[in-house]
Structure formats: structure tokens, C-alpha cells
Amino acid sequence: MKKIIILFSLILITSCKGVTEKKSVTITAQGNFAHTVYFWLNNPDNMVERDAFEESLRNFIFSSLYIDSRHIGVPAATGQREVVDDSYTYSLLLTFKDKVAQDKYQDEDVHKQFIEESSHLWSKVVVYDSENILE
């Protein structure tokens, strides 16, 4: 029984030591180039149009040869703040190895097909591209 108590105490002390130590961890998105797109649908309450948009978008982003990571989102319920714009219908966050890969993605047939299939569903699109500066 003494051995079990001593072993338990050592495990507890060791695990507590890790809690008090401050570790520097950098978490970055996969890829060095982020492509963020916001879509405002013409009829955001029309579920048939939303389903068509989502299906076309999913088919496109899972067929691309150049995308490293994918995120399709809708406005989060984070509450009203002056700096938050939640007026969009969908957001798309894609990452790429680099700008060259993103340029190739722009010319992919699957990207062009998505635009052709879905552009009639949106009234506005805004794109923000950024390159990673964390090293």
C-alpha cells in the first residue's frame, strides 16, 4: 500500500509540475497562404438555394488539387460588438502551401465550375488573402 501511495504522489507531483511551467507554443494554420471568402446569398432563407450552394462548394473544395485545409462557416453566435460583421451568409477559409498553389487553384476547372454553378445564388463576395508571417 505504501508503494502505491508513493507512486501516486510521484505521478501527482510530476503532473502538477507541468501545469506551473509556462510553455511557448505556436499554432499556425496548415499552409502559408490563407484565402478567406465571404458570400452574401441573394435569398439566405431559401433552404433549396442554400443546399445547392453548399453542395457545389463542397464538391469544389474537396476536388481541388491545391487546397491544404478547408473550413466552411456561417456567422457564429458571438454576440453584437462594433467590430463584428456577421452580415454574410457563408464564409470559406482555405489554406495553400504558398501563393503559387493559390494561383493554380484560381485556374482550376473545379473552381471555375463552382463559380459558374453558384454565382447566380450570391449578391456579394468579398475576398481577403494573406500570407503567413509566423516563422
Domains of the chain from N-terminus onward: 33-77+85-131 (3.30.70.100)
pLDDT value of position 30: 72
Q: Note the pLDDT tens digit of each residue in 5-28.
A: 333 343 434 444 444 444 544 445
Structure pTM?
Answer: 0.76
* Higher-confidence position of 44 and 23: 44
Q: In what order do the strands lie in the sheet with 122-131?
A: 67-73, 90-96, 33-41, 122-131
pLDDT value of position 29: 60
CA atoms of 102 and 88, how far apart (whole Å)? 23
pLDDT value of position 32: 87
Render the chain in DSSP notation, one character per residue: -HHHHHHHHHHHHHHHHHHHS--------SSSEEEEEEEEESSTT-HHHHHHHHHHHHHHHHH-SSEEEEEEE--------TT-----SEEEEEEESSHHHHHHHHT-HHHHHHHHHHGGGEEEEEEEEEE----
Q: Note the pLDDT tens digit of each residue in 72-97.
A: 999 998 888 888 888 999 999 999 99
CA distances from 135 to 32, 86, 120 (A): 10, 31, 40
Q: Is 92:122 a contact under the CB 8 Å cutoff?
A: no
Examine the pLDDT at 4 and tell me if it is beyond 50: no
Please give the grid coordinates belonging to residue 29.
494554420
